Amino acid sequence: MTQTRKDQYFALIDQLIRCPNGQEPDVLTANSELLDADFIQSLMQVATMMAHENNPDGAKFLIYIARQLSKELGLYPEVANQIS
C-alpha cells in the first residue's frame, strides 16, 4: 500500500466521521474504488486509536462500518449455527 493510498483511506475515514448521520452509504458508494481489505484495516487502526483516546463511540462506529464492509466484500465469513 502506497502512502498516497493510505492518505486516501484516512481522508475517506475522516469524511465518514464528519458526514451527516445516515449519509455514510452515499460517501462509501462515491468512493467505492477505495473499498478493499486495506481500507478495512485502516478503519480498524483508526478505531483502535479512538478507543485509546477515550472516544468509544467513534471507535464503535468505525468498527461497525468495517464489519459491514467486510461482509459485503466477502472478507467476514458468516458462521452457520450448527446444532449437534
Answer yes or no: are the C-beta atoms of 48 and 59 closer than 8 Å. yes
pLDDT for res 78 = 64
How far is 19 from 1, CA to CA, in rounded Å? Answer: 26
Q: Where are the domains of the chain?
A: 3-72
SS3 label, residue 84: coil
pTM, entire model: 0.85
Express each pLDDT in 9-46 by its tens digit: 999 999 999 999 999 999 999 999 999 999 999 999 99
Instruction: Report how far apart, in Å, the C-alpha atoms of 48 and of each of 27, 45, 56, 58, 66 are.
Output: 22, 5, 9, 10, 12
Express each pLDDT in 65-80 by its tens digit: 999 999 998 887 665 5
